[in-house]
């Protein structure tokens, strides 16, 4: 009986720790520093990365762990290998933009909060429809055509 109680408490503690860590992870994904980057897994098989490329067409599997954050409203992704920013703006709509800042071309210094993208190279701000809010950039983000069919996202660059 004593061993059963000890084992139960040990397992319950692990579950609580896991739940706590999981919660922290998802909260941090809304912040600006924890960008999921499919490049990080160093796989050459593009289908294993959750996307395929055919010419200028990217087909992205939203069920893949690298992209599943895009299934939630407000979820966003700096997708470096595709050269794009992706964001779920609600009602199953995902928008895609070039990740090249129109100011000086920074590609990897993006954050997203309050429905705005900020290029942290020199702090240009854009809405989640790509419209310039404040410079030094003097033009909007280049947008790509993004079409969602259930859990498949197709982006034409
Ligand atoms: S390159 Fe983005 S603000 Fe300068």
* CA-closest residue to ligand 1 atom 3: 122
Q: Is 141 in the pocket of ligand 1 (CB under 6 A)?
A: no
Whole-number Å distance, alpha carbon 59 to ligand 1 midpoint, is 28
Q: Indicate if 20 and 47 belong to the same structural domain.
A: no
Q: Indicate if 24 and 39 belong to the same structural domain.
A: no
Q: Is 137 in the pocket of ligand 1 (CB under 6 A)?
A: yes
Instruction: For tokens 């395929």, name the residue.
Output: 52
Low-confidence ranges of the chain (pLDDT < 50): 1-34, 38-46
- Give 78-103 pLDDT, tens digit per residue: 999 999 999 999 999 999 999 999 99
Give the residue from 81, 74, 93 showing the smallest Cα distance to 50. 81
Q: Indicate if 14 and 37 belong to the same structural domain.
A: no
Q: What is the DSSP string of 47-114?
A: GGGTEEEETTEEEEETTSTTTGGGGSTT-EEEEGGGTEEEEEEETTEEEEEESS-TTT---S-EEEET
CATH assignment of the domain containing 95: 2.102.10.10
* Best residue among 103, 118, 140 to mutate for probing ligand 1, ranked by most atoms within 8 Å of CB: 103
Q: Indicate if 67 and 25 belong to the same structural domain.
A: no
Q: Indicate if 23 and 51 belong to the same structural domain.
A: no
Q: Is 104 in the pocket of ligand 1 (CB under 6 A)?
A: yes
Q: What is the span of the domain harbouring residue 110? A: 33-156
Among left, alpha and beta (phi > 0; psi -120 to 50; other), residue 68 is alpha
Confidence at residue 106, expressed as pLDDT on a 0 to 100 scale:
96
Q: Is 103 in the pocket of ligand 1 (CB under 6 A)?
A: yes
Q: Indicate if 41 and 93 belong to the same structural domain.
A: yes
Q: Indicate if 52 and 109 belong to the same structural domain.
A: yes
**Percent of the chain at pLDDT exceeding 90:** 68
Query: What is the number of structural domains in the chain?
Result: 2
Q: How far is residue 61's CA from residue 77's CA, in Å, rounded to a whole number? A: 13
């Amino acid at each position: 009986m004593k061993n059963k109680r000890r084992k139960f408490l040990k397992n319950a503690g692990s579950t609580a720790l896991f739940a706590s860590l999981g919660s922290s992870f998802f909260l941090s994904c809304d912040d600006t520093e924890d960008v999921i980057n499919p490049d990080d897994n160093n796989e050459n098989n593009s289908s294993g990365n959750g996307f395929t490329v055919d010419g200028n067409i990217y087909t992205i599997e939203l069920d893949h762990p690298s992209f599943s954050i895009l299934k939630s409203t407000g979820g966003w992704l700096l997708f470096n290998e595709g050269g794009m920013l992706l964001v779920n703006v609600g009602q199953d709509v995902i928008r895609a933009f070039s990740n090249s800042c129109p100011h000086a071309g920074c590609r990897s210094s993006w954050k997203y909060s309050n429905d705005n993208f900020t290029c942290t190279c020199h702090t240009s701000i854009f809405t989640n429809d790509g419209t310039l809010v404040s410079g030094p950039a003097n033009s909007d983000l280049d947008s790509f055509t993004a079409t969602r069919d259930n859990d498949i996202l197709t982006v034409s660059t």
